[in-house]
Amino acid sequence: MSARLLPGKPVADEILRDVSERAAALRARGVAPSLATILVGDDDASAGYIRIKQRQAAELGFVSPHEHLPASASQADVLKVVEQFNDDRDVHGVLIQYPIPGHLDYDAALGALDPDKDVDGMHPLNMGRLALGMPGPLPCTPAGIEALLAHHEIPVAGREVVILGRGATLGRPLALLLAQKRPTANAAVTVVHTGVKDWPRYTQRADILIAAAGVPGIIQPEHVKPGGVVIGGGVRYEGRRLLPDVDESCEAVAGAITPRVGGVGPTTVAMLFRNAITAAERATA
């Protein structure tokens, strides 16, 4: 058996088409939608992702002010930039590229961000909104995975979803999202982590297995239910080299699977812009 592939690009294209139309509507009433980016330090991969986001912003007709702080920046320097963007009425969304240098506190910087401008959906208030089922910006990778499943018409409601990994950016918010009472969610969700000795016992019974561990190659064919759906959400980067959680040999066992490149990643960026256009519309309504 060879699994059906579930690419992310058509999902991202659909989301970005909608964002582009909404951006044009804002511009037609004299509003320039704006997504500000903050990069701290000289990490090549992060600088590359910022360039991708700026290119995408330009294609969609967004303004994208950018602040690049040196690796030696202090926490106060970072907070000052965050506050400047918070106070700037022409800036509708802000993202702080992760990671930042080790002497800095990313969570504190995120906590200082205006929650209404939080396009990553990771501010504590927005995570709280997600936990309570209240409207707000959704964390981009979890929202991208829900959209990917819906786009490829993978039924989720009532099915057994197992998420391997409980991190704050993926496993935990994704569990909250897919358990919500909505047609594209409403699943029986189990979160298991790699510290559980017999974690394969959980993944083997998953109708939909979502790898969110950030451990390269941790998911092998024997961890997958034959014919099940496998979504590779977790990745680790060595420089710009992508090391997915899911080993490619899983394609022989799964019924459907995301490609190792061009799976969940493109949907994450699209969701960032969906959050940004929503923030711009709300700020200028």
Ligand X SMILES: Nc1nc2c(c(=O)[nH]1)N[C@@H](CN(C=O)c1ccc(C(=O)N[C@@H](CCC(=O)O)C(=O)O)cc1)CN2
Catalytic residue among 114, 116, 120, 207: 120
Q: What span, in angstroms and rounded, lies between the C-alpha atoms of 204 and 192? A: 12
Q: Residue 173, interface with ligand X (CB under 6 A)?
A: no
Q: 183: which 2 tokens?
A: 């047609």
Tell me how far, at minimum, the Cβ of 98 lies from ligand X, in Å.
4
Q: Residue 269, interface with ligand X (CB under 6 A)?
A: yes
Q: What span, in angstroms and rounded, lies between the C-alpha atoms of 43 and 274? A: 26
State which residue, 97 or 126, has the beta carbon closest to ligand X.
Answer: 97
Q: In 3D, which of 90, 96, 22 has the Cα closest to residue 61?
A: 22
Q: Is 120 part of the annotated catalytic residue set?
A: yes
Q: What span, in angstroms and rounded, lies between the C-alpha atoms of 40 and 47? A: 9
Q: Which residues lie closer than 8 Å to 103 by C-beta, 6 or more apart?
A: none
Q: Is 97 part of the annotated catalytic residue set?
A: yes
Among 82, 192, 266, 270, indicate the residue that binds ligand X (CB under 6 A).
266
Q: Residue 70, interface with ligand X (CB under 6 A)?
A: no
Alpha-carbon distance values, 166 to 11, 86, 151, 154 (Å): 25, 30, 25, 23
Q: Residue 233, interface with ligand X (CB under 6 A)?
A: no
Tell me how far, at minimum, the Cβ of 132 lies from ligand X, in Å.
23
Tell me how far, at minimum, the Cβ of 92 lies from ligand X, in Å.
16
Q: Residue 226, interface with ligand X (CB under 6 A)?
A: no
Q: Which residues in 92-111 contact ligand X (CB under 6 A)? A: 95-98
Q: What span, in angstroms and rounded, lies between the C-alpha atoms of 112 and 122? A: 12
Q: 28: which 2 tokens?
A: 């037609």
Query: Cβ distance 54 to 64 under 8 Å?
Result: yes
Tell me how far, at minimum, the Cβ of 56 lies from ligand X, in Å.
10
State which residue, 50 or 154, has the beta carbon closest to ligand X.
Answer: 50
| Interface residue list for ligand X (CB under 6 A) | 49, 95-98, 120, 140, 240, 242, 261-263, 265-266, 268-269
Q: Give the residue numbers of the binding site for NADP(+).
A: 165-167, 235
